[in-house]
Structure 1
Amino acid sequence: MSFDALKELAAAGHNFKGANPQQLEAVSSLSQEEVTLLNSIKQRLDSAEDVVPHGVDAPLSGAFVW
């Protein structure tokens, strides 16, 4: 089975709603190491009690880490 970056990121809670085809293609091309790093960053941000995501109620701007 080959590595699926989008599937791995989505399983970790990254949201791709509103992403355009070019953005999805770029994310799909990430290596396993890059996905592991992004998931690690997301996990740390999610567990930090004093971190408030900027633009929580704003439309998706291409950022999917938090």
Structure 2
Amino acid sequence: MIIVASELVASSSDDLRKWYPPTFIGSVVLGFITNLPDIFIIIAAALTSSGVLALGALLGGNALAFTLGYFFVI
């Protein structure tokens, strides 16, 4: 399933390249796609009244991405 989904994302990105610049695709479209699991976890937690889980998923994912990005740049 992961292989099929990755092929679909890659081919869709190639199709979008015809209309949009590569920087837009890489930063916005693929950035949104890679955050879909977090988005679904946050939505599911909010719908089940697990506000703490939703807040933890929202802040934890962003904090981890910022921390890893900061250390890899340095």
**TM-score for both structures, normalised by structure 2:** 0.30
Structure with the bigger percentage of helix: 2
Structure number with higher relative contact order (C-alpha < 8 Å, ≥ 6 residues apart): 1
**TM-score for both structures, normalised by structure 1:** 0.32
